[in-house]
């Protein structure tokens, strides 16, 4: 799995802050553009998020190239509709051995490595047999495994990313899309730390809806949650551990971050 | 494949017509509701479509239950974002033999039946072996084939259906989603013949954008197209045959309509 | 203001419940359709909402005719993008005296009735003067007041309605769109009481995200909120009063419900 | 009216081209990123557009600050739902004289200047009288004219812009939103000439759906249209003149481009 932020609104944080401020002002862009300080940017972003003024976050946009994920994961990913996708076509993809790299879930890596290797190899052989019988690629691929690898280019704005992270960073999300989400979060936090400061699984998002002082992922250990339960049913006490558990998908058995 | 229209705006045609008329009038709903004749309904629908006033078609909505399609097809289907989906979860689905009915493309039915049967059986065996080793279902399914069967509930409005049909009734669309689209068209035409009278692949939609008198799928044989080419590159002369070819997916080798 | 539910998914509650159940089952629509009891419908709806499985609510859809609101309100309304609108065209509307009924806010009714009457009449006179000078209607209307009345047909699904209600039932919402929202809520609760049981301003929605047992608008007086504050900043203690205050827009000075 | 492109995907053209190419390839972003030539960018963009592969255009995104337009125009603008908006709040805007600059349509400028000036001034006086009587600003503004000025920040991607331009560059669009559209087109063509080469009113868009060699706005005078009529009903022969007419909104009486 390789996840790369290939394009984004360079001034995204500034733009979100100016837009938010303009909605409360009569002055035009040029004025605010010149006057807006770094401190103000932070404040406008924070206030927009803590007061549910999410629409201003839509003006900052991010494009990722996501490579080497399974079609199990991409099928879940594209269910997020407020986004743009361009996926490698599997209909016309010539079968070239070196590009056949189906994904193996960690649980199978541990418990069924040999089975999966054989299953993936057999499927590929059947695929070839069908091609040889004159079946077109787009049909022959029906015998390829669900785990087959794919590439996809994804564009989402910051608001949609918050929504996506809320659902997919969560421990209830399936491991692969969860790993994708955590990596995407890393990427956007690197370039826009202020804009994604409050991003996290829904337990954190919802906590901040009802809490006086907003918390972040970094505060997980030092926070007593007010929420009785998260939306998925985890109780107040269980939440911090659950979040850490969710995040652990990024780290392999040997402590190495996946996909690096 | 089983496609059933399970819910829709009963008065959809009337509602679209009233909405269109209200945008050109100052009178309220009750008045138009009472006065609107069947002839008028037909005219308002026709005029809205031939003048690109598509937004009024959004007020009529359709829900389908689509069962026994492959995840190849469902992955393409859910790329249509102006729609609502609820899909059978493959994460928690208990492996019950009688529900494992992966889809076989017609081309394989013809040329590789034995290969595919074996491929699908082997995949299922590997799946079981993984389960026995303690791999959870949501991971074990990575070895199941792309062709694995799924069910999905889909809601789209009439405008989105026009857009979906434009792309997916076309011969360039992959056979399975094409079959789904043609069956969905059958379903909606049955209940709302006036609203879907002009639905068809994009060659027809686009022809009607630039033509004085609109044509329908039924006119295919008696029409000289004005379009030099369709958007997919088929030339004027080739279009009627191409459309019939696209539609033939509904009919099996033996002349039987698929999935009935 | 006249708000009428003119079309909706008759079986909406059932359909939402079946869709939710189908995502956890391998059986098809016909089976669930037959087996689904009323109790089950209630449970599936409740569980979907309390666990944030909002997407299933999208399968139930509602069309309203909203008449006699101001363009101030309609401008805010159409900002909700996951919806369909057909609005009376003001470009081509012939100026007929009896249709000129601009909206007067309650605060002006009370404090500036004469001023507003004169202002609205003067504006109309200027409008006519412009028409007489040969200015087309679509331009002359620039001098008509913001409060000018309009009609609009609106279609939203149950999920979007929950989102819309969350924002617009709230006391922070502008009075007119708030009145619209409360009336729309009345309409949908009448036909689908189980589906809209948990609808309310965001203070209630968010409380239910983090609370073991969900509350409804009816519980406002007997509930100790867990939330420290609502997203708009009202403190725990202030919420119940704030909600009642928000709702009071429905009742005029004389205790009569508006627009009836 | 002041329209400024304040942010956009700097590499937008490149990104669209790479995404399109990746859907037909198995290689990853880094490879294409390095290999993609300027010629190729042009070809991939052209081919995507002429074959209706619009979704790739979504990866390039544009943010505009639009200042000094009327609420008549902004109300139409926000009907385009695949977009993001942040508008100056008129609820809390303090009444400061110098910011009250309602828009005067050209037709009134010519035929009713005195009437409109008086109408706008009277409305403002009534507004003030209401404020003095203790009516809150958000209600008092009901007497302000439809033509009242507003500012709005708008984000749209290239696909949505093509759709927006198709509808709003057209002579049937109301003059003010048409002027906005033509100016927005200028802005994006300046930075991404290859991506917006084929943008135009729907007569041109639709012509290119059905024509072998695509045309652009620049070819209007030297092109015999194949379309019998445009979607709005203008006949083949009338189209070029109609387009020039539509565009003339940019130029004032004295030959000066508006808003500069
Ligand atoms: C743990 C988990 C389990 C899941 N299990 C299943 C399952 O068994 N079956 C299944 O089918 N799906 C399942 N899903 C997918 C889920 O139902 C959503 O489809 C998916 O998460 C996308 O979320 P979304 O709709 O919020 O996102 P998006 O589609 O990106 O939408 C973003 C936001 O836009 C709004 N929106 C967009 N389109 C509409 C619309 N048409 N109507 C109303 N509002 C809209 C909503 O506010 C939404 O939050 C599961 C998801 C998770 C995280
Ligand atoms: C023959 C064929 C081959 C294809 N090959 C590929 C491929 O190789 N790779 C690939 O990734 N996809 C491929 N697709 C999928 C295609 O790119 C679209 O994603 C899919 O057809 C959905 O179409 P849509 O975007 O028009 O529909 P929807 O998502 O339903 O959208 C409906 C309409 O809403 C508007 N819209 C919705 N969301 C947006 C948005 N975010 N921005 C702008 N406008 C929006 C558009 O006007 C659109 O027409 C293929 C499709 C076909 C038919
Ligand atoms: C009290 C109040 C004050 C307001 N003040 C202002 C103001 O000063 N200026 C102003 O401009 N607006 C203002 N608004 C409007 C507000 O910013 C929203 O535009 C409006 O409420 C619609 O909300 P929505 O975006 O959630 O709804 P919808 O547009 O209906 O969207 C529904 C859901 O779909 C998703 N969604 C849809 N489209 C997108 C997208 N492009 N990107 C990401 N997610 C998307 C989101 O999850 C969203 O919740 C105000 C609203 C309220 C209630
Ligand atoms: C000359 C003219 C006259 C008009 N007159 C009127 C009038 O009298 N009354 C009136 O109400 N409006 C009127 N309109 C507005 C018009 O109906 C559209 O609402 C507006 O142009 C936005 O267009 P859109 O829906 O294509 O754009 P967007 O909302 O930006 O959508 C872009 C694309 O996404 C898809 N899409 C987005 N949401 C949906 C959805 N919910 N369902 C299906 N597809 C969707 C469609 O493919 C659409 O083309 C007029 C417009 C023009 C140009």
Nearest one of C193, C202, C154, C183 to C250, comparing CA atoms = C183
Whether residues B61 and B177 fall in one domain: yes
pLDDT tier for residue B259 given thresholds of 50, 70 and 90: very low
Q: Is residue C70 part of a domain?
A: no
Query: Which 180-199 residues of chain D touch chain B by CB within 8 A?
Result: none
Whether residues C132 and C100 fall in one domain: yes
Cα A81 to ligand 1 centroid, rounded to whole Å: 8
| Cβ count near D121 (within 10 Å) | 12
Asked if A131 reaches chain B (Cβ–Cβ under 8 Å), the answer is no
Domain tally, chain B: 2
| From D14, D71, D111, D168, active-site residue | D168
What mean pLDDT do residues B73-93 have?
94
Cα B89 to ligand 1 centroid, rounded to whole Å: 13
Which is it for the CA torsion D169, D171, D172, D178, positive or negative? positive
Candidate from B25, B55, B58 with most ligand 4 atoms within 8 A of CB, to mutate: B55
By C-alpha distance, the chain C residue nearest B20 is: C86
| Cβ count near D169 (within 10 Å) | 27
Strand, helix or coil at C56?
helix
Whether residues B139 and B15 fall in one domain: no
Cα D210 to ligand 3 centroid, rounded to whole Å: 38
Q: Is residue B82 part of a domain?
A: no
Question: Hey, are the CB atoms on A119 and B122 less than 8 Å from each other?
Answer: yes
Question: Hey, are the CB atoms on D142 and C146 less than 8 Å from each other?
Answer: yes
Strand, helix or coil at C22?
helix
Q: Facing residues of C153 across strands?
A: C65, C86
| Cβ count near B193 (within 10 Å) | 11
Residues B156 and B59 sit within 8 Å (Cβ to Cβ): no
Q: For residue range C2-21, list pLDDT tens digits in order.
A: 999 999 999 999 999 999 99
Whether residues C131 and C19 fall in one domain: no
Question: Rounded mean pLDDT of chain B?
Answer: 95
pLDDT of residue C95: 74
Beta carbon of A80 within 6 Å of any ligand 1 atom: yes
Beta carbon of B86 within 6 Å of any ligand 1 atom: yes
Q: Is residue C75 part of a domain?
A: no
| From A14, A71, A168, A194, active-site residue | A168
Residue A226 with chain C: CB contacts under 8 Å:
210, 226-228
Q: How far is C122 from chain B (nearest CA, A)?
A: 22
Residues B152 and C29 sit within 8 Å (Cβ to Cβ): no
Q: Is residue D252 part of a domain?
A: no
Whether residues D9 and D115 fall in one domain: no
Q: For residue range B167-198, list pLDDT tens digits in order.
A: 999 999 999 999 999 999 999 999 999 999 99
d(CA A48, CA A45): 5
> Is 50 exceeded by the pLDDT of residue B253?
no
Whether residues B163 and B225 fall in one domain: yes
Whether residues A169 and A246 fall in one domain: yes
> Is 80 exceeded by the pLDDT of residue B119?
yes
Whether residues D48 and D175 fall in one domain: yes
Strands (E), chain C: 2-8, 61-70, 84-87, 149-157
Q: Is residue B142 part of a domain?
A: yes
Residue finishing a domain among C112, C127, C147: C147
Q: How far is C9 from chain B (nearest CA, A)?
A: 6
Q: Spell C225-258 as b/e; 16+ CB within 10 A means b.
A: bbbebbbbebebeebbebbeebbebbeeeeeeee
pLDDT of residue D96: 84
Neighbours of chain C (3+ CB pairs under 8 A): A, B, D
Question: Rounded mean pLDDT of chain A?
Answer: 95
Of C2, C59, C63, nearest to B155 by CB-CB distance is: C59
Cα A54 to ligand 3 centroid, rounded to whole Å: 7
Q: Is residue D208 part of a domain?
A: no
Whether residues D170 and D192 fall in one domain: yes
Whether residues A21 and A143 fall in one domain: no
d(CA D27, CA C253): 70
d(CA A75, CA A181): 14
Of D210, D229, D230, nearest to B228 by CB-CB distance is: D210
Which is the closest atom of ligand 4 to the Cα of D82? 30
Which is the closest atom of ligand 4 to the Cα of D168? 53
Nearest one of C6, C46, B163 to C21, comparing CA atoms = C46
Residue A232 with chain C: CB contacts under 8 Å:
51-52
Q: How far is B251 from chain C (nearest CA, A)?
A: 24
> C-alpha angle B37/B11/C199, rounded to 5°?
140
d(CA B87, CA A75): 11
pLDDT tier for residue C91 given thresholds of 50, 70 and 90: confident
Please count the residue pairs, one from chain C and one from chain D, whose beta carbons lie less than 8 angstroms apart: 144
Which is it for the CA torsion D14, D19, D24, D29, positive or negative? positive
Of C120, C136, C174, nearest to D91 by CB-CB distance is: C174
Numbered residues of the known binding site of D: 55, 76-81, 87-91, 141, 157-159, 163, 168
Q: Is residue C88 part of a domain?
A: no
pLDDT of residue C255: 47
DSSP state of C242: H
**For position B244, which CATH number holds?**
3.30.1360
Residue finishing a domain among B147, B179, B214: B147
**For position D22, which CATH number holds?**
3.30.1360.170
Whether residues B157 and B34 fall in one domain: yes
DSSP state of D149: E
First to last CA, chain D: 8
pLDDT of residue D253: 47
Segments of chain A with pLDDT less than 50: 253, 255-257, 259-260
Q: CB under 8 Å to C6, separation ≥6 — which residues?
A: B15, B29, B33, C63, C64, C65, C153
Question: Hey, are the CB atoms on B61 and C61 less than 8 Å from each other?
Answer: yes
Beta carbon of B157 within 6 Å of any ligand 4 atom: yes
Whether residues B228 and B141 fall in one domain: no
> Is 80 exceeded by the pLDDT of residue B23?
yes
Residue finishing a domain among B127, B147, B167: B147
What mean pLDDT do residues C25-53 have?
96
Residue D232 with chain B: CB contacts under 8 Å:
51-52
Q: For residue range A236-249, list pLDDT tens digits in order.
A: 999 999 999 999 99
Question: Rounded mean pLDDT of chain C?
Answer: 95
Candidate from C80, C83, C89, C90 with most ligand 4 atoms within 8 A of CB, to mutate: C89
Task: Return the HEC string of chain A.
Answer: CEEEEEEECCCHHHHHHHHHHHCCCCCCHHHHHHHCCHHHHHHHHHHHHHCCCHHHHHHCEEEEEEEEEEHHHHHHHCCCCCCEEEECCCCCCCCCHHHCCCCCCHHHHHHCHHHHHHHHHHHHHHHHHHHHCCCCHHHHHHHCECCCEEEEEEEEEHHHHHHHHHHHCCCCCCHHHHHHHHHHHHHHHHHCCCCCCCCCCHHHHHHHHCCCCCCCHHHHHHCCCCCCECCCCCEHHHHHHHHHHHHHHHECCCCCECCC
By C-alpha distance, the chain A residue nearest C163 is: A52
Beta carbon of D79 within 6 Å of any ligand 4 atom: yes
Q: What is the ipTM of this complex?
A: 0.97
Q: What is the dihedral of CA A49, A52, A56, A61, to 10 degrees?
A: 60
Quick one: tokens of D100? 């009250």
pLDDT tier for residue C96 given thresholds of 50, 70 and 90: confident
* Parallel/antiparallel/unpaired status of strands A84-87 and B2-8: unpaired
pLDDT tier for residue C253 given thresholds of 50, 70 and 90: very low
Interface with chain C: mutation pick from A210, A213, A231, highest number of C CBs within 10 Å: A210
Residue ranges making up the domain that contains B227 = 2-65+151-250
pLDDT of residue D95: 74
Of A71, A108, A111, nearest to B146 by CB-CB distance is: A71
Cα C166 to ligand 3 centroid, rounded to whole Å: 11
List the pLDDT tens digit at each of the 260 positions of chain D: 999 999 999 999 999 999 999 999 999 999 999 999 999 999 999 999 999 999 999 999 999 999 999 999 999 999 999 999 999 998 877 778 899 999 999 999 999 999 999 999 999 999 999 999 999 999 999 999 999 999 999 999 999 999 999 999 999 999 999 999 999 999 999 999 999 999 999 999 999 999 999 999 999 999 999 999 999 999 999 999 999 999 999 875 454 445 43
């Amino acid at each position: 799995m390789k996840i790369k932020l290939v394009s984004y609104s360079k001034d995204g944080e500034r733009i979100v802050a100016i837009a938010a401020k303009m909605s409360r002002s009569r002055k035009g862009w040029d004025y605010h553009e010149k006057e807006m300080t770094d401190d103000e940017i932070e404040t406008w972003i924070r206030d927009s998020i803590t007061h549910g003024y999410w629409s201003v976050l839509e003006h900052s946009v991010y494009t990722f190239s996501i490579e080497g994920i399974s079609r199990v994961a991409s099928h879940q990913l594209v269910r997020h509709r407020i986004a743009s996708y361009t996926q490698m076509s599997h209909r016309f993809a010539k079968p070239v051995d070196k590009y056949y790299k189906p994904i193996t879930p960690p649980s199978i890596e541990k418990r069924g490595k040999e089975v999966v290797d054989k299953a993936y190899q057999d499927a590929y052989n059947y695929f070839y047999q069908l091609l040889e019988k004159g079946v077109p690629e787009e049909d022959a691929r029906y015998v390829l495994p669900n785990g087959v690898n794919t590439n996809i280019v994804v564009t989402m704005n910051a608001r949609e990313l918050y929504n996506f992270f809320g659902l997919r960073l969560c421990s209830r999300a399936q491991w692969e899309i969860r790993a994708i989400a955590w990596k995407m979060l890393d990427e956007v936090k690197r370039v826009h730390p202020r804009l994604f400061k409050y991003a996290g699984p829904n337990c954190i998002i919802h906590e901040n809806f009802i809490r006086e002082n907003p918390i972040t992922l970094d505060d997980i250990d030092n926070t007593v949650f007010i929420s009785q339960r998260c939306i998925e049913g985890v109780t107040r006490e269980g939440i911090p551990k659950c979040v850490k558990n969710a995040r652990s998908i990024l780290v392999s058995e040997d402590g190495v971050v996946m996909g690096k």
